[in-house]
Amino acid sequence: MKDPILKLRSATRRAKSDVANKLISMFLHELSRRVSQNWPIKVDGEEYEKLVRERFDNRCPYCTCDLTDIESVIEHLDGMNRYRAGLHVPGNVLVACRRCNGEKRRDDSLKILSLAESGWESFLSHDGTRCAASCRTCRYWRSIWEDDTERTVRLGENLQRIRSFRRAFSQFEQALPSLMETQPALLTKLYSDCQAFAEMEIKTLLERFDAISEAKT
């Protein structure tokens, strides 16, 4: 059990990280608008969602479950965080099942990926042959396709289908390499600057509070 002081410290650390992550998400949304403003299709329009659903037969692009009767969510192939630097633009946005969206977060939040270059490719690479026995993503895919051969085939098919989906958005494919080269480093800096700023502001305000309290006594 953690003692209360340690608990409080880790809660403060989490809050600071939440603020920094929020700032990164705000920046990535603004950047998305700027990057895609002249593209022929808008990501938030009905047309785009219809196109995505048709392209994947109204199934989850990861586990291929039917999305007709279950809750679906907007999913970013490259997650919108400081490691994956994903954008809210056509080609990166899909409709997926809530379960896969949650399970994929584990790969998305890793600084360094060992199975593939991107978070979504990594998520679909847990075929049960390359991870430790305790890997939760491997276990997730095993729960969906029990048979080893079928699982490998299905994961590979879904990888290919998503790759070819992305290739259909030429503006996105053109913009991606330079974004991937520059953004993660910028976002890492934004993240640590934001945390340093929060820390300094809180410290300054606390010192001011102490000074006022002392003056009163």
Residues near Zn ion, by CB under 5 A = 60, 62-63, 97, 100, 126, 131, 135, 137-138
**Cα four-point dihedral sign 18, 132, 148, 126:** positive
- Shortest Å, Cβ 137 to Zn ion: 5
The structure tokens listed for 190 are 């934004």
- Dihedrals phi, psi of 61, to nearest 5 degrees: -65, -20
Give every CB contact of residue 63 below 8 A, 6+ residues apart in sequence. Answer: 97, 99, 100, 144, 158
- Shortest Å, Cβ 139 to Zn ion: 8
- Shortest Å, Cβ 118 to Zn ion: 16
- Closer Cβ to Zn ion, 116 or 135, answer by number: 135
- Closer Cβ to Zn ion, 56 or 62, answer by number: 62
Give every CB contact of residue 53 below 8 A, 6+ residues apart in sequence. Answer: 67, 95
**Phi-psi group of 64: left, alpha or beta (phi > 0 → left; psi -120 to 50 → alpha; rest → beta):** left
- Shortest Å, Cβ 72 to Zn ion: 9
- Shortest Å, Cβ 133 to Zn ion: 9
- Closer Cβ to Zn ion, 131 or 186, answer by number: 131
- Shortest Å, Cβ 151 to Zn ion: 12
User: What is the rounded distance in angstroms from the CA atom of residue 52 to the CA atom of residue 96?
Assistant: 10
CA 132 to mean position of chain CA atoms: 23
- Closer Cβ to Zn ion, 22 or 136, answer by number: 136
Number of neighbours of residue 103 by Cβ within 10 angstroms: 20
- Closer Cβ to Zn ion, 92 or 158, answer by number: 158
- Closer Cβ to Zn ion, 111 or 216, answer by number: 111
**What are the C-alpha distances in Å from 4 to residues 1, 8, 13, 129?**
9, 6, 14, 42
